[in-house]
Structure 1
Amino acid sequence: MIISFLITAMIPVGNTKVSASTDTLNLKGAAAILIDGKTGKVLYEKNADELLGVASMSKMMTEYLVLEAIHAGKLSWDQKVVISKFIHDLSNPSLGVSTVGLTEGESYTVKELYESMAIHSANASTVALAELLGGTEENFVKLMNKKAKELGLKDYYFVNSSGLNNADMLGNHPKGSDKSDENKMSARDTARLAYHLINDFPEVIETAKQPILKFRGEEFKNFNWMLPGLIFEYDGVDGLKTGSTDYAGYNFAATAERNGQRFISVIMKTGSQKERFEETKKILDYAFQNFSTEEIFKSNYSIKGKKTVPVLKGKENSVKIATKEPLTMMIKNGEKDQYKPKLVLDKKKLDKNGNLVAPVKKGEVVGYLTYEYKGEDLGYLYPNQKSKVDVIATESVEKANWFVLMFRGIGSFFGNLWHGITSTVSSWF
């Protein structure tokens, strides 16, 4: 279901890290990252690989697993979940954690629990879904860590489904972790999780963008205060997940879309509710004001001096090549001229001398076109990524018949013989 790698195939050039001391945006958070929501291209980062408390942003993994189960037919939205005493007690507003108040013995649908988790960050609802999927929350945590590995996350530590500190779980935290443990992730891995969640299950936005949760006659505000109608409303914001604990500070994985361009940002360990939104505004302003998707090289593009590839045993000695599609990518405004084309031929299709071997069919992929960039390149979310497009043969070259090949061989023999004789004679004088 992971469609993200089908969007753009990818390979890094240099990767320049941004530390707190060189932070051009002067952010107040401990770590941050900004990416292109479609390709995962990193546009800005600060301490992006530091393992920090992630709090309720870890609910994105629970959302991912629920949506995956829905798509696989393992769960249905109208499936009923009966609330246990523990879930009821964890849902008590007096605990001071986000909740919608679930009643012991009462049934709630998967959709009700999911929406209360995704919109109002309801912790007891999250644990109820975890128990439904995993049998126990302990088993569900194993699913979380397994999925994290499948998605290519590197710096993560899941001990429960909700992001609460284990000490807040009334003595019922999953086994295998300390009672004061808490989920941790890096900003980069949080962005990776958000990236997969949005691209693999786009419907997640339809829930995340709702500023108000209507739950059994009551209304609860979304903790994402940058949504329409809320206090820090920001044009284009339609998700994704906030999180805060004493250990983690105030975090926010945001996403915003304008005119078809989506960005994802993560800010971690800010000092207050207000600060996490103010710092996110800085990041998103930077994104929308400085970056756009541009066509770097056109379709049917050929590099000067590399417009053909030699062909062995063909009716013609070479074949014309060009890009199958245009190469488009997110770049900083005004920097298009800093991208130079780079042709990479498929070595599996070449002989030891760099020739294609006939027959070559029109439209056959012979390699790819990528780029070399003169500026600061932060790469993509994953180590082996970089935009590229297929390079194809724009014409067919049939294999020459045996008679033509024989005479070419004879001509080559005498040509080599004559070259040897002239070289020998020249050496006498």
Structure 2
Amino acid sequence: MDLSRREFLHLSAVNILLSSKRNSTPKVKKPLHNSRNSTKEELGVTKLCIVYNSGEVLLSENEMRVRPPASLVKLMLMYLISMKVEKKEIFPTIAIKPQKTIFPTNNSDFVISAQSEYLLNDLLKAMAVISSNTSAIAVAEALWGSVEKCVEEMNTTAKNLGMKSTRFETVNGYPVRPGFDVDRTTGRDMGIIAVECCKSPTILQWTSTKEFVIPGTNIVRKNTNDLLFEFYGCDGLKTGFTRSAGHCLIATAKRANKRIISVVMGAKTSRERFTIAKNLLEIGFADG
């Protein structure tokens, strides 16, 4: 059974989303509900509406259901890189020399050639705009030495942020084979990383980019987040889809001084995720 707004807002776990300091490490005092006792009614779409400014959770459904995040995984990778950029450990203008040629797994992605060099900023925009899986692998290998080392840091960071139900196995959320997703998380945990990402002007710059030109070509690709074009104030964050995960979307928008975050996981269609996310954002802006 879903929690009422009054009951939900008094739970101590909401404190995780209240932090406004980038380097804070939120602690989980208790889960929002016991996912082991999930009923058939709870096996639907995960929905979460968060007021970023205060951490208030206005609506939640199935937020503790463990499920694959698909390309929402890339938010953690972008978060780690943004931390390095903002600490000036690396710069977005550095050249990335791929360790090997990386071939795309779908028609919307592009080949990362071992014979070429790519600006880090371009690869990050490719991840944010067209959800490039090849770019995620190239960046992880270049900055961490291997995908495995990058995943290790992703999991350490998730633990430090209080994402207790999250386990990353990939840097891009792509299944090891069709229908077999290995990454696991919850809507609640995705809400935590979404809040952290919204603290970063660097990430919002990547995720608000509406078009991306494939390197070495004149091919222009539109951002997979339709709400950038449909919802006033939207500037992120990330779409995702696999057969197991369904259609996922973490969206955020800012109007005046108020920012709202919506989390949608497991929608049946692409259009449904945008409709749900739009409704959640509207709820957020209408409140107060």
Match of 2:167 among 157, 174, 194: 157
- Give yes or no for contact 1:29–1:267 (8 Å, CA) kept in 2: no
Q: Which residue of 2 aligns with 1:214?
A: 213
Deviation digits for residues 322-345 of structure 1 (CA, Å, limit 9, x no counterpart) = xxxxxxxxxxxxxxxxxxxxxxxx
Shift in Å, 1:57: 0.6
Shift in Å, 1:11: 11
Shift in Å, 1:211: 1.6
Q: How does 1:44-193 map to 2 (within 5 A)?
A: 44-87=59-102, 89=103, 91=104, 95-96=105-106, 98-167=108-177, 180-193=180-193
Shift in Å, 1:61: 0.2
- Give yes or no for contact 2:234–2:254 (8 Å, CA) kept in 1: yes
Deviation digits for residues 249-306 of structure 1 (CA, Å, limit 9, x no counterpart) = 00000101112111001011011111111111221222222x12xxxxxxxxxxxxxx
Question: How many pairs does the alignment contain?
Answer: 264
- Give yes or no for contact 1:55–1:182 (8 Å, CA) kept in 2: no
Deviation digits for residues 227-269 of structure 1 (CA, Å, limit 9, x no counterpart) = 12xxxx1122111001000110000001011121110010110
The DSSP-based 3-state class of the residue aligned with 2:213 is: strand
Residue type of the partner of 2:227?
M
- Give yes or no for contact 1:53–1:248 (8 Å, CA) kept in 2: yes
Return the structure number with greater helix share. Answer: 2
CA RMSD of aligned residues (A): 3.0
- Give yes or no for contact 2:44–2:62 (8 Å, CA) kept in 1: no
Q: Which runs of 5+ in 2 are unaligned?
A: 1-16
CA distance in 2, matches of 1:97, 1:210: 20
Deviation digits for residues 19-74 of structure 1 (CA, Å, limit 9, x no counterpart) = 88999xxxx95211111112322111011111111000110000011111222333
- Give yes or no for contact 1:84–1:105 (8 Å, CA) kept in 2: no
Q: Which residue of 2 aligns with 1:252?
A: 249
Return the structure number with greater strand share. Answer: 1
Residue type of the partner of 2:278?
K
Deviation digits for residues 375-423 of structure 1 (CA, Å, limit 9, x no counterpart) = xxxxxxxxxxxxxxxxxxxxxxxxxxxxxxxxxxxxxxxxxxxxxxxxx
Q: Which residue of 2 aligns with 1:318?
A: none
The DSSP-based 3-state class of the residue aligned with 2:177 is: helix
Is structure 2 residue 53 aligned with structure 1 residue 43? no
Is structure 2 residue 261 aligned with structure 1 residue 261? no
Is structure 2 residue 228 aligned with structure 1 residue 227? yes
Shift in Å, 1:149: 1.1
The TM-score normalised by the length of structure 2 is: 0.82
Residue type of the partner of 1:266?
V
- Give yes or no for contact 1:134–1:143 (8 Å, CA) kept in 2: no
CA distance in 2, matches of 1:252, 1:125: 20
Residue type of the partner of 1:192?
I
Residue type of the partner of 2:109?
T
The DSSP-based 3-state class of the residue aligned with 2:228 is: coil
Residue type of the partner of 2:206?
T
Q: How does 1:275-314 map to 2 (within 5 A)?
A: 275-289=272-286, 291-292=287-288
Higher RCO (C-alpha 8 Å, min separation 6): 2
- Give yes or no for contact 2:18–2:55 (8 Å, CA) kept in 1: no
- Give yes or no for contact 1:32–1:46 (8 Å, CA) kept in 2: yes
Q: How does 1:374-389 map to 2 (within 5 A)?
A: none
Structure 1 pair 139–17 and aligned structure 2 pair: CA distance change class (3 A):
closer
Residue type of the partner of 1:250?
H
Match of 1:4 among 1, 19, 30: 19
Give identity over the alignment, percent: 28
CA distance in 1, matches of 2:88, 2:177: 34
- Give yes or no for contact 2:99–2:141 (8 Å, CA) kept in 1: no
User: Which is greater in Rg?
Assistant: 1
The DSSP-based 3-state class of the residue aligned with 2:63 is: coil
- Give yes or no for contact 1:56–1:242 (8 Å, CA) kept in 2: yes
The TM-score normalised by the length of structure 1 is: 0.56
Residue type of the partner of 1:47?
N
CA distance in 2, matches of 1:182, 1:275: 24
CA distance in 2, matches of 1:108, 1:5: 34
The DSSP-based 3-state class of the residue aligned with 1:227 is: helix
CA distance in 2, matches of 1:56, 1:15: 25
Residue type of the partner of 1:223?
T
- Give yes or no for contact 2:93–2:120 (8 Å, CA) kept in 1: yes
